[in-house]
Amino acid sequence: MSIRGDHDAVIVGGGHNGLVSAAYLARAGLKVLVLERRHLVGGAAVTQEVFPGFRYSVASYVVSLLRPEIIRDLRLPEHGLDILPLESTLTPLPGGDSLARWSDPDQTRREIARWSPRDADAYADFSRCMYKLAWALKPLLSTVPPNPLRPGVRDAKTIRELARAVRGLDEADFERLFKLTTMSAADFLSEWFETGPLIATMSASGIIGTFAGPRTPGTAYVLLHHYLGEIDGVFRAWGFARGGNGAVSESIASAARSLGAEIRTSAPVEQVITSGGRARGVVLEGGEEIGARVVLSGLDPKRTFLQLLDQSDLPGEFVKSIQRFRIRGSSGKVNLALSELPRFTCLAGAGGSLTRTPGEAETLLRGAISISPSVDYLERAYDDAKYGRFSRRPFMDIVIPSMIDPTMAPPGKHVMSVFVQYAPFALDGGWNRVKRDAFGDAVIDTLAEFAPGLRDIILHRQVMTPLDMQQQMGLTEGNIFHGELTLQQLFLFRPVTGWANFRTPVRGYYQCGSGAHPGGGVCGAPGRLAALEVLRDLKVRRGRS
Amino acid sequence: MSNLPDRSGVSAALPTPLHSRTGPLCRTSNWRRWSGFLAADSYEPSHHREYHAVRAAAALFDISPLFKYRLTGPGARALADRMLTRDVTRLATGRVLYSPWCDARGKIRDDGTLQRLGEDDYRLTSAQPTLGWITDLARGLDVSVSDESEGTAALALQGPLSWKVLAAAGARAIGSPRYFGLTRAPLGGVETWISRTGYTGDLGYELWMPADGACAVWDTLIEAGRDFGIAPAGLAALDIARIEAALPLVHTDYVPAHEALIGAQRSSPFEMGLGWAVDLDKPAFVGKEALRAETGEPPRWRFCGIAIDWDSLERVFWRAGLPPLLPHGAVRSSAPLFHKSRQVGYASSRTWSPVLKSYIGLAHIEASHGPVGTNLEMQITVEHRPARVGVRVVKTPFFNPRRKRATPA
Ligand SMILES: Cc1cc2nc3c(=O)[nH]c(=O)nc-3n(C[C@H](O)[C@H](O)[C@H](O)COP(=O)(O)OP(=O)(O)OC[C@H]3O[C@@H](n4cnc5c(N)ncnc54)[C@H](O)[C@@H]3O)c2cc1C
């Protein structure tokens, strides 16, 4: 077979993970080519000026999981990465009251004490507990999952190291860890708290990107996943990338290029070329063939294995496992261009028992706003999705990026990012333009209950359904994490038991996207770990640091 | 939702009930945050006058940010006894005791005072929010636990002339309470609880009153204290005084057990020199089993006083061409202590003591190096370079005047 090109590594997909892989491989001196289907890199982490003058973080919108070692190794700040703090969470409530969690622990304690003095104390204990657990689990983010069935020398060493990390936990922590991996987010939180809006808002972290409700067992783990991030050494902190999440991808792309990687956009890969059980390169749509010693896929597991490969290259059991891999889409996204700041009833001083000062209101508009007034509310939103409808009154996680980075919108105007659940991929009757509009309307109508007058200030709206995400971003079923973050498909099991070490049944073919360990989010860990495994197999040193 | 308390706001830095008085006095705007309240670090550009008021006249501190819990009902005593390491059952009405309390591992969570206001009526002060924990502990007891932290203001009047001020302010009639005693008197028309306690190791009183009466009490004391050199004083002065008195400060001298991330951060009462406050003969209290087990082993740590040797201090600065530079106030950062080349502990607080004319500190030291008289070395920074100065383990309290326990007439 004659294949053009002489690349050491070809990376399919220029999502942030593919870009991270490219940068690490280039840094080790390999000749690297990234092939991205779209006209821009970043995948689910892109910023686009969809409406003139207004920049949307089209899909993902906040950062926390991005690994500090990647920021250091690739010198991302020199390539434009700047993460601004997101310090508070506001839960507006019907009737004009609200619950806020602030960056200051005393202020948060007072806020929660309005509802329950006991919860106020428990909140500090809970935060410490999650901190400790996240700290114990954090090594996982930088670890290649061992093979538990046939552990080699290195696997055994990994298992010992992980055991050591967990050894710092006492019995109570250990029990909680177990609960976190098995219970529902709402049940787990109810063991700690009695304040409805607090439990609801915190449990919302457990349903993000997951086709499950707050009362579905297993969602407590997703909650913990949201505590694993860190910014500037502060665990569980969330931030907003200056320029939107596309700036994260751009900075990684810039680092990769400066290290010698080549990035081609508008270059959709049709297939991975194999022969003799080994990957030899790729074919682009249109027929161009590109050869390489190794091929990495940053696509989700369904695409990586079922689309890019000829299934006869894979063991039948493996194919079945990938078919069973759960990747149901459950989220939508609405981006709004606003002529002015929205007016939330709970911040206007009207109604409710609490008057927020203008300064406090402004602080809260710079933070996250969560439409999650009660667990019942969230669970009902899920009920809709269970039966193939989008939520009539959905859960929403909102930020106003222009309040954090004023350059996201023209002066005085704003952009609003609304992450929405639930929008099932498998909508009854399927998604179409009418249903997309109806979904957008449900979001705006619900939001307007908390911020009346919202409709009048909307200059433009972009509504993304899971189908849009599949079509535009190549996310199978629109699943934001390349596969749900439930325990049975994490760590040793992501995406398939025995193949969690970034390799695949096809030699020279690797997985480097969110479908691999440790999973989804703007994190970069799969991309980094995959690259390091490739280097190990190619017996190339890791490169300069 | 409608039964939530009506508040004008939840803030990270609330004014205390005395802010209308302390605010204008704080000319430096030198505020610190203490449990989410604004607390003056010093009212004047330097804390010196405020410190000397503690030792030579009378200093008035706003200590309202302390957490205060009220335990009432037939089970109040049992609850306090379950919680504190000291025997509470013998505490008479009108008396106060100091005690730490521990977690189940026998490591200190916090420390504070317990006032017995009446037969079944106690007030507990703590440095940190503790309501949830106490409430859990109260399970099965006929007791009500309420948080009166914000409804109750508190002042500390400390110094050799503090009784004179208090007497002139209207407390003369009730007579001076004995050390760790508690009485009630109207001050400025406000019914005030007066405890003969403090955090300075000097003669002094702590006053507890409804928040809305706090300013009247303050005004009365300031007025009565004019002839006695009363000075509003801030945390900077308090910090020096409490080190001189060898009183530990939470988060500085020890990490609360429930906040510790690793075992080494936790301290037992024995390791903090508070063994005298552990009563292993009482039937049950949190941490008892662990503490009992600990008494069977030689202690690993001692909490000691150290005095920094002046000559060696002068020497290391002299080598750098400088006169000895003393800290401006209390230093809350840790300094390693060595025996020869091996680290055997660390000083957790230190200060220059103006009243003793000595550079002193509180330190955690491996028990074998803890006896009074042991010579060690402390690492400090001299002109950006590490240097070692000699220190000696000394007896505490460093400053222990007779008037500390006196009952002035
Ligand atoms: C709406 C939404 C909101 C989210 N919010 C957050 C958030 O706030 N914070 C957070 O941390 N995470 C969030 N996430 C999750 C996070 O964005 C993703 O998990 C992550 O960006 C995935 O990165 P990736 O590099 O693994 O894959 P992707 O970003 O999916 O990259 C895959 C790339 O491959 C390309 N591609 C596909 N097929 C081909 C082909 N055949 N040939 C060539 N290229 C191809 C795609 O175009 C894409 O660029 C969100 C996701 C979504 C969708």
User: What's the CATH number where B89 sits?
Assistant: 3.30.70.1400
Mean pLDDT of chain A: 93
Q: Could you give the number of structural domains in chain B?
A: 3
The answer to whether residue B277 is domain-embedded is no
A135 touches chain B (CB under 8 A): yes
Q: Are residues B160 and B114 in the same domain?
A: no
The answer to whether residue B118 is domain-embedded is yes
Whether the pLDDT of residue B3 is over 70: the answer is no
pLDDT reported for residue A352: 52
B4 touches chain A (CB under 8 A): yes
Closest among A507, A526, A97, A544 to A309, alpha carbons compared: A507
Which residues from B are below 8 Å from A124, CB to CB? 129
**Which residue among B126, B147, B168 closes a domain?**
B147
**Over the stretch A198-211, which tens digit does the pLDDT of each residue have?**
999 999 999 999 99
Partner-chain residue, chosen from A122, A168, A355, that has the shortest CB–CB distance to B9 = A355
Cα of A512 from ligand 1 centre, angstroms: 12
Average pLDDT over residues A299-324: 96
B5 touches chain A (CB under 8 A): yes
The answer to whether residue B329 is domain-embedded is yes
Look up residue A197 and give its two tokens.
């809006």
Residues A41/A499, Cβ–Cβ less than 8 Å = no
> Binning pLDDT at 50, 70 and 90, where does residue A545 land?
very low
Contact state of A354 with B130 under an 8 Å Cβ cutoff: no
Q: Are residues B336 and B386 in the same domain?
A: yes
pLDDT reported for residue A481: 95
pLDDT reported for residue A132: 87
Q: Are residues B72 and B44 in the same domain?
A: no
Closest CA–CA distance from residue B307 to any residue of chain A (Å) = 36
- Measured from the Cβ of residue A432, the count of other Cβ atoms closer than 10 Å reads 12
The answer to whether residue B132 is domain-embedded is yes
**Over the stretch B143-160, which tens digit does the pLDDT of each residue have?**
999 999 999 999 999 999
Domain that holds residue B338: 299-395
Closest CA–CA distance from residue A103 to any residue of chain B (Å) = 9
| Ligand 1 atom 4 nearest Cα | A60
- Interface contacts (A, B; CB < 8 Å): 70
Closest CA–CA distance from residue A407 to any residue of chain B (Å) = 29
**Which residue among B233, B253, B269 closes a domain?**
B233
Whether the pLDDT of residue B234 is over 70: the answer is yes
**Over the stretch A89-102, which tens digit does the pLDDT of each residue have?**
999 999 899 999 99
B8 touches chain A (CB under 8 A): yes
Asked, as a colleague might, if the bond just before B397 is cis with ω within 30 of 0, I would say: yes
Closest among A217, A416, A197, A419 to A330, alpha carbons compared: A419
Pocket residues for ligand 1 (CB within 6 Å)? A 12-18, 35-38, 43-45, 59-62, 65, 268-269, 298-299, 303, 331, 333, 419, 469, 473-475, 480-482, 513-514, 520-522
Whether the pLDDT of residue A5 is over 70: the answer is no
pLDDT reported for residue B8: 47
> Binning pLDDT at 50, 70 and 90, where does residue A231 land?
low
Chain centroid to Cα B375, Å, comes to 28
pLDDT reported for residue A398: 97
pLDDT reported for residue A451: 97
CATH number at residue B219: 3.30.1360.120
The answer to whether residue B49 is domain-embedded is yes
| Domains detected in chain A | 7-45+64-82+244-326+484-544 (3.50.50.60), 104-229 (no CATH), 327-473 (3.90.660)
Ligand 1, atom nearest to A332 Cα = 1
pLDDT reported for residue B9: 59
Q: Are residues B109 and B123 in the same domain?
A: yes
Mean pLDDT of chain B: 95
**Which residue among B114, B131, B147 closes a domain?**
B147
Q: Are residues B372 and B348 in the same domain?
A: yes
Q: Are residues B119 and B181 in the same domain?
A: no
Average pLDDT over residues A108-117: 93
pLDDT reported for residue B4: 37
pLDDT reported for residue A227: 85
Average pLDDT over residues A484-511: 94
The answer to whether residue B322 is domain-embedded is yes
pLDDT reported for residue B179: 98
Average pLDDT over residues B3-7: 37
Query: Cα separations (Å) of A453 from A211, A305, A344?
Result: 32, 48, 9
**Over the stretch A149-167, which tens digit does the pLDDT of each residue have?**
888 899 888 888 888 877 7
Which residues from A are below 8 Å from B10, CB to CB? 100, 107, 110-111, 114, 354
Q: Distance between CA B404 and CA A280 in Å, rounded?
A: 86
A354 touches chain B (CB under 8 A): yes
Q: Are residues B50 and B73 in the same domain?
A: no
**Over the stretch A526-542, which tens digit does the pLDDT of each residue have?**
999 999 999 999 998 77
Residues B166/B205, Cβ–Cβ less than 8 Å = yes
Q: Distance between CA A474 and CA A477 in Å, rounded?
A: 9
Whether the pLDDT of residue A168 is over 80: the answer is no
Average pLDDT over residues A264-274: 98
- Strands A98-101 and A89-92, how do they pair? antiparallel
Q: Are residues B159 and B36 in the same domain?
A: yes
Residues B57/B25, Cβ–Cβ less than 8 Å = no
B212 touches chain A (CB under 8 A): no
The answer to whether residue B280 is domain-embedded is no
Q: Are residues B113 and B154 in the same domain?
A: no
User: How crowded is the C-beta side of B20, counted as CA atoms within 13 Å?
Assistant: 10
pTM here is: 0.92
pLDDT reported for residue A543: 61
CATH number at residue B386: 2.40.30.110
Contact state of A355 with B135 under an 8 Å Cβ cutoff: no
The answer to whether residue B265 is domain-embedded is no
The single-letter code of the amino acid at A323 is Q
